[in-house]
Amino acid sequence: MLDSKKYYNVIAKDYTLISKERINYLNAVDDIIISENKNKKINNYLDIGSGDGRRSLKMINSLNPLNSTLVDDSSKMLEQIKSVKNLTIANNSFFDYKTDRKFDLITCLWNVIGHINSNTLRKQFFQIIEKRLNSGGVFYLDVNNRYNITHYGYSNVMKNLKIDFLSPSDNNGVFHIGEGDKKTKVFIHNPFDLTSYVKNLNLEIQKTWFLDYNTGEIKDTFFEGQLFYKITNK
């Protein structure tokens, strides 16, 4: 089993193809962020787990932030980025990335926090976000949802619900992605986890969308989609 950094270094060359398989979903997330922030003045933009930077550059071209920072711990993913003006690229884990800057817009897209290995660390991640989000700033992130019946199927979701109800544990969301010797552990959230991360912080979930993983359509219930959040200061 590879850690996240090795896994993304190994699959970096195939990443464009892999992400094309989910392009409707990814575009739907991007469209919401762009339409909500189109006419805002953004001084500092941060994309955490930017990967190949395709989506970060789309945000930059659409929203024209004055300064942008992309952070990713996989060097091979970052090698694919064509730099643009006023862009800082940091090859770090977000936990090791040091800055005094506050950001008006922060994105963390496509289950990046599913690669953080424990509940304690995921809570720490949100403590850092609290420090780095400017007053009036907005943080968007999406995570895969282990109660998504449309994507994972009824019987898997029933198993997930049963184990969460009967034996709640931080390990209940741990699954694997990849194939053969290219595999890594990934945490798939349930629809209640995010509330526990922001509890006791000066952050609040402003809005949650449930987006179909194939079509990107907005759905009414968490049984029908992946989880996409808009988080702001209280």
List contacts with ligand SAM (CB under 6 A): 4, 8, 19, 48-51, 55, 71-74, 77, 93-95, 109-112, 115-116
In whole angstroms, the minimum distance from the beta carbon of 118 to ligand SAM comes to 12
Residue type, 180: G
Q: Which is nearer to ligand SAM, 152 or 187 (CB)?
A: 187
In whole angstroms, the minimum distance from the beta carbon of 180 to ligand SAM comes to 19
In whole angstroms, the minimum distance from the beta carbon of 162 to ligand SAM comes to 28
Q: Which is nearer to ligand SAM, 19 or 43 (CB)?
A: 19
Q: Which is nearer to ligand SAM, 32 or 71 (CB)?
A: 71
Cβ contacts of 223 within 8 Å, gap of 6 or more:
147, 148, 149, 150, 157
In whole angstroms, the minimum distance from the beta carbon of 158 to ligand SAM comes to 27
User: Taking CB positions, which residue lies at the least distance from ligand SAM?
Assistant: 51
Q: Which is nearer to ligand SAM, 2 or 163 (CB)?
A: 2
Q: Which is nearer to ligand SAM, 163 or 177 (CB)?
A: 177
In whole angstroms, the minimum distance from the beta carbon of 177 to ligand SAM comes to 9
